[in-house]
Amino acid sequence: MVEAYSIPVTKIEHSRLPGITLENIPFGRTFTDHMLEADYENGEWKNVEIKPYQPLMVSPSLAAIHYGQSIFEGIKAYKNEAGEAYIFRPYDNYKRFNLSAARMEMPDVPEDIFIEGMRQLIALDKDWIPAQENHSLYIRPFMFSSDEMIGVRASEKYKFMIILSPTGPYYSAPMRIYVEEKYTRAAPGGVGFAKAAGNYAAAMYVTAQAKKQGYDQVLWTDVYEHKYVQEIGTMNVFFVIGDTAVTPELSAGTILAGVTRDSVMTILEEMGLRVEEKPVSVDMLMDAYKAGELREVFGTGTAATVSLIRELKYKDFVMSFDTGTWKVTPEIKSRLDAIREGRAADKYGWMFKV
């Protein structure tokens, strides 16, 4: 078979893998032998190549550093028992990447570079995908403006890259969440729906304040009334109320449309729960809590899959949960993990073979 699009490869001389233990490897600190790099210049993508992972040389006037035209994605690849590698729903991330790019006045990245480049890069570094349960290869595609000029305008040059990081189980203890009613993350008309670097920079201070008070993360609320909830840190949020799972709807463009969110909605329906996307007010949550109907609260995202929430604090009102008795959240995680690790049938066509 002729490869659709073959990217030039410079291989590393000696793999660093023999010196590394993949079992329980911490998230985001170790990178594989190779990376993908491409440049956008004069209206076209060029210099697409796969080469040894290495530092970048950049000018101090690099536009991305000053004005923050920078976006990214987070995706995971898994190895099944037969040793075959699969990427989880990469086309969904690809579409979202180009939506983020459009909002930040950056060029589209073609499928040949994003998807096929990712596939070829992972095929080359396949031995870096840990095979143990709850382990995976985290894939980080990103793009930033690369004009070397100080002046506020959309850059003419961009760099697109993909780096890979093996990761072990992302254990996070059930979280205490502070419902934020002073600072905000995203307003209608803003960039909340985009995976834009600046969104994360703007959240650091607020998260640090919450941590000082003993919370793990904040639950963002709407900018007008601080009444409707949006998402938790870098995770979408779900509330199980009676036999219904409720998650905030996306139409205002203030919430990042998670691929995990979408997958979890499918799994919840498969489990026989009703799923509702709608505006979710803190008042409604407190009423459900007081009535004993608010059963489970969890966050969803690629890094952790699902994270249990054991406490929600809004003004002086504390909603606390005994996560040890929960049924729905652990079941979602186990069903999703089974599909991703190749232990259950891929009935929704989510797994893309490397």
Q: Please give the residue ranges that form the binding site for ligand PLP (CB under 6 A).
A: 74, 195, 231, 234-236, 256, 258-261, 300-302
Q: How far is the CB of 44 from ligand PLP (least distance, A)?
A: 29
The residue (of 32 and 217) whose beta carbon lies closer to ligand PLP is 217
- CA–CA separation, 117 vs 168, rounded Å? 24
Q: CA quadruple 183, 187, 193, 198: dihedral positive or negative? A: negative
The answer to whether 205 and 242 have CB atoms below 8 angstroms apart is: no
Residues in a beta bridge with 317: 314
Q: How far is the CB of 260 from ligand PLP (least distance, A)?
A: 3
The residue (of 140 and 227) whose beta carbon lies closer to ligand PLP is 140
Please, which residues have CB within 8 angstroms of residue 90's CB and are 6 or more apart in sequence? 75, 115, 118, 139, 352
Q: How far is the CB of 74 from ligand PLP (least distance, A)?
A: 5
The answer to whether 162 and 36 have CB atoms below 8 angstroms apart is: yes
Q: How far is the CB of 309 from ligand PLP (least distance, A)?
A: 15
The residue (of 259 and 282) whose beta carbon lies closer to ligand PLP is 259
Q: How far is the CB of 49 from ligand PLP (least distance, A)?
A: 27
The residue (of 34 and 333) whose beta carbon lies closer to ligand PLP is 333
DSSP letter string, 20-47: ---TTPPTTS---SEEEEEEEETTEEEE
The residue (of 62 and 229) whose beta carbon lies closer to ligand PLP is 229
Q: How far is the CB of 63 from ligand PLP (least distance, A)?
A: 22
Q: CA quadruple 84, 303, 163, 160: dihedral positive or negative? A: positive
The answer to whether 298 and 323 have CB atoms below 8 angstroms apart is: no
The residue (of 237 and 294) whose beta carbon lies closer to ligand PLP is 237
